[in-house]
């Protein structure tokens, strides 16, 4: 619980503060006076003033931050001050300042993705299981052991990348060209014909619905019981089971079932030890279980492992991959929002702080790479959400500026802006209520 809370506060505080730094950086270069930059909200715990007169504050509630610019000149201000306040800036500068916040979030996401690509990540190889009969994958010709190497002509180095490339086609439907390499090395292309699928946070995995899943993990010897049947047979920690009793490439479940059904009977094994194939024979020890039945035991902990690949790119390729993935995710988010408005996707996809906190804690437990990927995803969400043309958000200000430009530089009347702000506040509050409802519906169902 504490890890989840800490991971959530760190994520939200970092991403919102970075968003505000974008506004601050461009406003400072536009010459706009900055009254305060606060990390956190509420009562100020620490403060200092820089040479520009900006108050830098650390506040008590660590859920983001804010930047306060001098919007209007105070009474009695001199002409120089009146010219530099935010509302007196040329339209293009105001647009730049407002856009800088969401742009900072998108840039941060691109840098995180670039760092992960440059650092390198261990990801599951895209070796596919046999698709269920009647699924689109089965109809297209996908077979057990095929390795997915490209989606719609775009190379994929891992299952993670394959899932990413398939996310939009699975949602929208249509034909997708898969490039596959068979276990014998033959390369071919199959056409996957997909119907549009409803995607919800707690719904079934759309990949499974299409018949695409990873091949079952293979059994590997973990720990050995000293003096047990496995150790006496010559098995060693790290041996990968290739054959058991004539069954080739068994799953962990199939291996365990075969051992249990051969109590007291010699069982032929073929294992892979480093690069060598070894033939062994083990006789499972009979052990009584419930109902007087006997099952075989070999005295070994069998672990489930999948083939992994190291995905790593050079500096320029990493940066390009980061920018491209951020752009793809931003467009996908916008399309999903459009589908929800059109009634083609479930509003259950709107989630709030409870779900975000849950995923923050979950990814933090998995490791730094997963947590950084989570930060990038939420940063994109913040950036895209703030660009929506809803008053109260950055996109709402940009909408007002667009109207101002169309009116020949004349701002909207104050009354119209107030009505727009109220409408925007209603929309934002409605989305917040919906997000919290979805969060608690997930918790208590």
Catalytic residues: 20
- At 249 the three-state DSSP class reads coil
DSSP H stretches of helix in 30-135: 79-84, 91-119
Q: Max alpha carbon distance in the chain (Å)? A: 99
The span from the CA of 194 to the CA of 198, in Å, is 12
Q: What are phi and psi of 415, to 5 degrees?
A: -65, -40
8 Å CB contact between 336 and 420: no
Q: Which residue in 150, 197, 132, 141 sits closest to 170, CA to CA?
A: 197
What size, in residues, is the chain?
Answer: 445
CA triplet 35, 37, 40: central angle to 5 degrees? 135
Residue of 310, 358, 62, 308 lying closest to 201 (CA atoms):
358
What is d(CA 127, CA 182) in angstroms, rounded to the nearest whole number? Answer: 9
- Asked if residue 103 lies in contact with residue 22, where contact means CB atoms within 8 angstroms, the answer is yes
Neighbouring-strand partners of residue 178: 151, 190
What φ, ψ does residue 302 adopt, rounded to 5°? -100, 125
Please give the C-alpha separations between residue 349 and each of 45, 202, 317, 431, 436, in angstroms, as whole numbers: 37, 9, 32, 11, 12
Residue 369 half-sphere exposure toward CB, CA atoms < 13 A: 12
> What's the CA gap between 280 and 230, in Å, rounded?
10
For the CA atoms of 387, 390, 394, 396, the dihedral, rounded to the nearest 10 degrees, stands at: 120
CA angle, 423 then 329 then 164, to 5°: 140
* Alpha carbon distance 315, 160 (integer Å): 20
Rounded distance between C-alpha atoms, residue 420 and residue 433, angstroms:
20
Tell me which residue of 99, 39, 32 sits closest to 66, measured CA to CA.
Answer: 39
Q: Which of 77, 78, 42 is nearest to 58 (CA)?
A: 42
Which residues make beta-bridge pairs with 304? 219
């Amino acid at each position: 619980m504490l890890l989840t809370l800490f991971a959530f506060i760190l994520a939200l505080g970092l991403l919102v503060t970075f968003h505000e730094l974008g506004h601050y950086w461009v406003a400072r270069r536009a010459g706009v006076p900055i009254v305060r930059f606060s990390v956190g909200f509420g009562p100020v715990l620490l403060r200092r003033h820089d040479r520009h007169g900006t108050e830098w504050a650390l506040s008590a509630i660590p859920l983001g931050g804010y930047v306060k610019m001098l919007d209007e000149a105070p009474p009695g201000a001199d002409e120089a001050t009146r010219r530099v306040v935010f509302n007196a800036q040329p339209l293009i500068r105001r647009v730049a300042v407002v856009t800088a916040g969401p742009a900072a979030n998108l840039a941060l996401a691109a840098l995180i993705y670039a760092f992960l690509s440059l650092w390198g990540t261990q990801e599951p190889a895209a070796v596919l299981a046999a698709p269920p009969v009647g699924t689109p994958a089965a109809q297209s010709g996908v077979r057990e052991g095929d390795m997915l190497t490209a989606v719609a002509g775009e190379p994929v180095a891992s299952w993670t990348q394959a899932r990413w490339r398939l996310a939009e086609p699975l949602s929208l439907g249509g034909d997708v060209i898969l490039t596959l390499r068979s276990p014998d090395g033959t390369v071919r292309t199959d056409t996957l014909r997909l119907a549009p699928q409803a995607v919800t946070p707690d719904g079934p995995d759309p990949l499974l619905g299409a018949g695409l899943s990873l091949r079952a993990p293979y059994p590997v010897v973990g720990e050995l019981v000293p003096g047990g049947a496995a150790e006496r047979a010559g098995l060693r920690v790290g041996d990968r089971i290739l054959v058991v009793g004539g069954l080739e490439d068994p799953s962990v479940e199939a291996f365990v079932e075969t051992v249990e059904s051969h109590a007291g009977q010699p069982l032929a094994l073929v294992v892979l030890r480093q690069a060598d194939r070894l033939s062994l024979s083990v006789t499972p020890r009979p052990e009584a279980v419930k109902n007087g039945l006997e099952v075989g035991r070999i005295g070994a902990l069998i672990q489930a492992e999948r083939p992994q690949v190291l995905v790593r790119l050079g500096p320029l390729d990493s940066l390009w991959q980061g920018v491209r993935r951020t752009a793809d995710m931003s467009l996908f988010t916008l399309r999903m929002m459009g589908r929800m408005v059109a009634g083609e996707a479930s509003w259950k996809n709107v989630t709030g702080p409870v779900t975000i906190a849950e995923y923050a804690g979950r990814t933090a437990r998995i490791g730094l790479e997963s947590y950084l990927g989570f930060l990038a995803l939420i940063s994109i969400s913040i950036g895209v959400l703030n660009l929506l043309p809803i008053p109260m958000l950055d996109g709402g200000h940009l909408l007002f500026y667009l109207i101002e430009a169309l009116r020949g530089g004349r701002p909207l009347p104050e009354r119209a802006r107030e009505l727009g702000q109220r409408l925007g506040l209603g929309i934002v509050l409605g989305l917040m209520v919906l997000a919290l409802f979805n969060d608690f519906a997930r918790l208590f169902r």
